[in-house]
């Protein structure tokens, strides 16, 4: 019988140059699985706890305590257990931790191990990770949401909104959609360069110029789409991640520094409605703050039948919080970030709840990433239909897109692999 033989962890680097946790799981048939945990910057308050050492090393950001938890607590706990029983493995982790949010072991410890167990199991069976996690039913290539202008907490420019994304919808394959995005990205670079502004990029590989409003990025991106020979609103749609929890001031209002404006929830909703009238925006993530549930009700009422409203900081990949949102008819979609909840089984439970409640799922990276491509396989395994993992630049983002190209090559193109989220 195949059993877990050894588990160990080390501290490695993420894409921002901060330490993060890498776990290795070895099975008694010699198979191995390695996984690296990502890390967010604009984190939701109710996310599972990322353990940081808080000492002198790396300005407090060391993760040796999480590494120690894997080596000294999790390794003996899981030793000799069946790696194919993911839910049982994850339950052991939850039970050992004893809290609701992995505040003892650290979600960076639990998730790294949870992912490495799945990888080792796939390797042991000799099947790709998406096939192991999703079975024969894993077949949908996700549509990408590509973040090509960065602002907010992910860049030091003047733009308040965190992410300006393009969604290529009118393409038969993921490969063709990626080509379109790359062409648009490079046109955008020319436009920004031509304006005499920096083409340096933010944390997720999108450009981060200083612009005079939160609307200007939409103008520039629309021009780039046209310059690249595509049609906005037909081939390519637009999406925002406002990450509005980061904009809330002491009075609970939303501060748009670049425009010198302070808006109420209702005024910000009006602002979005105006943008949606002018541009082909089909998705807005975290349009209001994580505590502004009344505002979210209003937002959903006003825009929910036209626009995908994605809860990220709002739902933090948590079944209980998502259920509250479903009960209150708040948002209509959820961002899926495994490290917000701390293990694979709970992530999968949240995806199942969303899917059976008619909420769309977007698999997502974090702004602090690595070469680990787990989420690419995970998106296909769960038939999520959408993935958000940065621009078409920087290896930490490209690694996921390249993995998706390989998956598409493997599963082949057919009507079943096409994503049906957006109308063609």
Name the residues annotated as catalytic.
Answer: 204, 337
| Residue 86 in contact with ligand PGA, rule: CB under 6 A | no
Looking at beta carbons only, is 83 or 338 nearer to ligand PGA? Answer: 338
Write down the least CB distance from residue 204 to ligand PGA, Å.
Answer: 7
What is the H or E stretch that residue 310 is in? strand 308-311
Among 343, 374, 419, 406, CA closest to 145: 419
The verdict on 275 binding ligand PGA (CB under 6 A) reads no
Should residue 204 be labelled a site residue for Zn ion when binding is judged by CB under 5 A? Answer: no
x/- mask, Zn ion, residues 268-307, rule CB under 5 A, reads: -----------------x----------------------
Q: What is the largest CA-CA distance in the chain?
A: 65
Binding test (CB under 5 A) with Zn ion, winner from 47, 53, 312, 377:
312
Residue closer to ligand PGA, measured from CB, 42 or 346: 42
Q: Where are the alpha helices (DSSP H) in 15-151?
A: 64-68, 75-78, 86-97, 107-125, 129-134
Residue 245: Cβ-neighbour burial (10 angstroms; 0-12, 13-18, 19+): buried
> Interface with ligand PGA includes 243 (CB under 6 A)?
yes
Determine if 241 is a binding residue for Zn ion (CB under 5 A).
yes
Task: Identify the residue among 41, 73, 255, 275 touching ligand PGA (CB under 6 A).
Answer: 41
CB of 384 to ligand PGA, least distance (A): 15
Nearer to ligand PGA, 77 or 243 (CB): 243
Residue 344 CB contacts under 8 Å (≥ 6 apart), including other chains: 86, 90, 111, 114, 115, 118, 133, 338, 378
Least spacing, CB of residue 389 vs ligand PGA, in Å: 10
Name the DSSP letter for residue 148. E
Using Cβ positions, the residue closest to Zn ion within the complex turns out to be 312
Give which of Zn ion, ligand PGA, none residue 393 binds (C-beta under 5 to 8 Å, depending on kind).
none
State yes or no: residue 43 binds ligand PGA (CB under 6 A): yes
Residue 276's DSSP bridge partners are none
Residue that has been written with the tokens 């699985």 in this structure: 33
Of all residues in the shown chain, the one whose CB is closest to ligand PGA is 40
Q: Are strands 261-263 and 254-256 parallel, antiparallel or unpaired?
A: antiparallel
Instruction: Quote the CA–CA distance of 289 and 287 in Å, as a whole number.
Output: 7
> How far is Cα 134 from Cα 363, in angstroms, rounded to an integer?
14
Per-residue contact flags (x/-) with ligand PGA for residues 329 to 358, judged by CB under 6 A: ------x-----------------------
Q: Is 241 in the site for ligand PGA (CB under 6 A)?
A: yes
| Under 8 Å between Cβ of 412 and 376 | no
Binder to ligand PGA among 150, 367, 386, 391 (CB under 6 A)?
Answer: 367
CB 350 within 8 A of CB 377: no
State the nearest-atom distance from the C-beta of 404 to ligand PGA, in Å: 18
Distance of closest approach, residue 333 Cβ to Zn ion, in angstroms: 12
Q: What residues numbered 157-176 form the site for ligand PGA, per CB under 6 A?
A: 162
Which one, 138 or 167, has the nearer CB to ligand PGA? 167
Number of residues that bind ligand PGA (CB under 6 A): 12
Beta carbon of residue 374, minimum distance to ligand PGA (angstroms, whole number): 15
**At how many degrees (to 10) do helices 395-411 and 374-381 cross?**
40
The 3-state DSSP class for residue 75 equals: helix
Token pair recorded at residue 384:
């999520």
SS (H, E, C) 349-380: HHHHHHHHCCCEEEEECCCECCCCCHHHHHHH
CA angle 345, 118, 414 (to 5 degrees): 90
Residue 422 CB coordination number (10 Å): 16
| Residue 366 partner contact from Zn ion, ligand PGA, none using kind-dependent CB cut-offs of 5 to 8 Å | ligand PGA
Q: In 3D, which of 255, 276, 266 has the Cα closest to residue 299? A: 266
Closest distance of CB 136 from ligand PGA, Å: 31
Q: Which does 144 bind (CB under 5 to 8 A by kind): Zn ion, ligand PGA, none?
A: none
Our finding on whether 42 is near ligand PGA (CB under 6 A) is: yes
- Cβ-contact 312, 41 below 8 angstroms: no
The residue ranges that bind ligand PGA (CB under 6 A) are 40-43, 162, 241, 243, 312, 335, 364, 366-367
The residue ranges that bind Zn ion (CB under 5 A) are 241, 285, 312
């Amino acid at each position: 019988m195949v059993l877990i033989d050894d588990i160990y962890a080390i501290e490695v680097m993420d894409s921002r140059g901060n330490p993060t946790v890498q776990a290795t799981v070895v099975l008694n048939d010699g198979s191995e699985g390695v996984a690296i945990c990502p890390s967010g910057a604009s984190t939701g308050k109710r996310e599972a706890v990322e353990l940081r050492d808080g000492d002198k090393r790396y300005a407090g950001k060391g993760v040796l305590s999480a590494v120690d938890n894997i080596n000294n607590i999790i390794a003996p706990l899981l030793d000799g257990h069946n790696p194919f029983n993911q839910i049982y493995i994850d339950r052991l982790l939850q039970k050992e931790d004893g809290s609701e949010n992995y505040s003892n072991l650290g979600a960076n410890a639990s998730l790294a191990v949870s992912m490495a167990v799945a990888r080792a199991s796939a390797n042991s069976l000799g099947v790709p990770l998406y096939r192991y996690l999703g079975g024969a039913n894993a077949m949908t290539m996700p549509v990408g949401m590509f973040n090509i202008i960065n602002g907010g907490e992910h860049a030091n420019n003047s733009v308040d909104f965190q992410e300006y994304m393009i969604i290529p919808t009118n393409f038969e394959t993921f490969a063709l959609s990626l080509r379109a995005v790359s062409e648009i990205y490079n046109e955008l670079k020319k436009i920004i360069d031509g304006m005499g502004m920096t083409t340096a990029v933010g944390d997720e590989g999108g450009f981060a110029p200083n612009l005079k409003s939160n609307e200007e990025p939409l103008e520039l991106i629309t021009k780039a789409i046209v310059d690249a020979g595509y049609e906005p609103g037909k081939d390519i749609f637009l999406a925002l991640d406002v990450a509005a929890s980061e904009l809330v001031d002491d009075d609970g209002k939303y501060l748009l520094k670049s425009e010198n404006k302070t808006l109420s929830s209702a005024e910000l909703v009006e602002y979005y409605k105006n943008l949606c009238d002018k541009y082909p925006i089909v998705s807005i993530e975290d349009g209001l703050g994580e505590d502004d549930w009344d505002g979210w009700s209003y937002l959903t009422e006003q825009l929910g039948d036209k626009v995908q409203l994605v809860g990220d900081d709002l739902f933090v990949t948590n079944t209980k919080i998502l259920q509250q949102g479903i009960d209150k008819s708040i948002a209509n979609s959820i961002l899926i970030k495994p490290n917000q909840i701390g293990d694979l089984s709970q992530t999968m439970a949240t995806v199942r709840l969303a899917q059976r409640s008619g909420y769309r799922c977007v698999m997502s990276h974090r702004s602090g990433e690595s070469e680990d491509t787990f989420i690419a396989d995970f998106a296909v395994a769960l038939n999520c239909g959408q993935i958000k993992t940065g621009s078409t630049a920087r290896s930490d983002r490209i690694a996921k897109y390249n993995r998706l190209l390989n998956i598409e090559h493997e599963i082949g193109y057919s009507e079943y692999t096409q994503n049906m989220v957006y109308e063609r």
